[in-house]
Amino acid sequence: MIRFALRTVRKRWTAYAAAGAVLFAGTTLLTAFALLLETGLSPGGRGTDTLVILPSILGGWTVLIVTFGVASTIALTVQQRERELAMLRAIVASSGQVRTIVLAEVLTVAVPMIALGIIPGIGLGTFVLSRLNTAGFVPDGLDAQVGALTIITGAVLSLATAVLAAVVAGRRAGAVPPVRAIAAATMTRGRALGRVRRNAGLVCTIIGVALGSTTFAMPNGPMLSSTAGPAGVALAVGLALLSPAMIPAVGRLATRLPGAPLRLAGRTLVVQPARAAVVVTPLVLLIGIATGTLYQQSTEDSINQGAANDAAQLSSVNYLVVGMIVAFCTILVLNTLIAATRRRRPEFGLLRLTAATRGQVLGMVLAESVLTGALATVLGTITAAVMVAPYSMVRTGSLLPSGPLAIYLGVVGGAFVLAFAATLPTTVRTLWTPPVEALAG
């Protein structure tokens, strides 16, 4: 099984590239926060509250982002091989052997990428520490402490997430009927929302709303973001998990609009909501978390404008940390959308064989990107509101955060640019594949 997994990963490395990139980026981010925490807990860093509070609050909800991002990417990667795994079941493999193959393949990719992510994570953490030193929050002469906590935390969290995602995806792949090896599995209609996904989405949504409500009762101080930040992350994950239940309504609306590409895109969203949710999910995370965190910091900047105090000096460091988290979300968006678009090659081939032109298929994908991006914008805006409105109310007495509208427009516009950049070029390359060859996968 191990040799088979190694050969599969070597031959189909592009299928696992997205998961590998997300694991690398996630490990880098988690290792950086672990370094700050270990330095703050070291004898020389005792009394440096910033080195404990910053990684504890931001690092805590970064774990949720990385965990969800890694799990969703691995699930997508395994789904791309559903027909191949079903073929193995049709020939000789049992469900247990399929689960073992999936786990071995994920570990083959995860272990080296996690190991590679530790070194840049140490460098990133050291850089943030130097910025804190420049701002006066770290005593002079305090060196970065790289010990077991730094190295193990990021690696273990990433590896545990990868293993859990592989086990869940492997169980699903092992349950696929062997007959799906003959049928066009990627073209079949699937349930909009599984029970496990629905329940998990409801739990995360309730947690997010509860944490956001709790923020109203928090004292005005540095710990205010300890509930506001996790509220946004939990709600973003919850709404992303529940998005397949909302996508068919968007699709039915699109079928009533003029234009063949819009109607075709609408029917696709109605038939395949779970597949469209793969696009919506990372965009909700990016729009919600980026908008919420940036407006939190802009609110802090307005409060401390012209004041040479600790909060004002910490602003540049906070923007750096927010940038790190947004960068991870950006990597997640690009890798997920590219992988999801590549997976549709058989569908594009079938459309071409049924007389659709390249322009019509490309127009359909563009329309789908606009529709899913619009839904992600709505869900991301709700996430940001729950994240920043209570925070702003406690800090300034107003539900509206301080900061220009350009922040919101820039985040939403950037998310659409990323969606187009990931899907359209990939679609164009796929459309140049002969239809019969594309249909074969």
pTM tops 0.85? no
Alpha helices in 42-147 (DSSP H): 50-80, 82-91, 95-134
Instruction: Please check whether residues 175 and 245 belong to one and the same domain.
Output: no
pLDDT given at position 338:
86
The boundaries of the domain holding residue 122 are 1-183
Q: Quick one: tokens of 356? A: 């659709």
Could you say which of 148, 168, 183 is where a domain stops?
183
Residue 112 shares a structural domain with residue 225 = no
* Residue 16 confidence (pLDDT): 75
Inter-residue contact 303 to 311 (CB < 8 Å)? yes
**Domain-ending residue, one of 157, 183, 209:** 183
pLDDT score, position 184: 46
| 22 touches 121 (CB < 8 A) | no
Q: What is the pLDDT of residue 306?
A: 59
Query: Which tokens go with 391?
Result: 């925070």
The answer to whether residues 157 and 202 belong to one domain is no
Q: Are residues 152 and 194 in the same domain?
A: no
Contact 93, 1 (CB under 8 A): no
pLDDT for residue 440: 62
Per-residue pLDDT of the chain (441 residues; tens, 9 = 90+): 566 666 666 666 666 777 888 889 889 999 998 998 888 888 776 656 777 777 777 777 788 888 888 888 888 777 777 767 777 777 766 777 778 888 888 888 889 999 999 999 999 999 988 888 877 777 777 788 888 889 898 899 889 988 988 888 778 777 766 665 555 444 444 445 677 788 989 999 999 999 999 999 888 876 787 788 889 889 999 998 899 899 999 999 988 888 778 888 888 888 888 778 888 988 999 999 899 989 988 888 888 775 555 555 667 777 787 888 888 888 888 888 888 888 788 888 888 888 778 888 888 899 999 999 999 999 999 999 999 999 999 988 899 998 899 999 999 999 999 999 989 888 888 888 777 776 665
Q: 183, 209, 243: which is the final residue of a domain?
A: 183
36 contacts 73 by C-beta, under 8 angstroms: no
Residue 190: both structure tokens together: 């699937």
Q: What is the DSSP string of 119-182?
A: HHHHHHHHHHHHHHHHTT-S-TT-----SHHHHHHHHHHHHHHHHHHHHHHHHHHHTS-GGGGT
Q: Which two tokens stand for residue 235?
A: 């709600």
The per-residue pLDDT for 336 is 84
Both structure tokens of 47: 């009394």
Total count of domains within the chain: 2
Same domain? 298 vs 348: yes
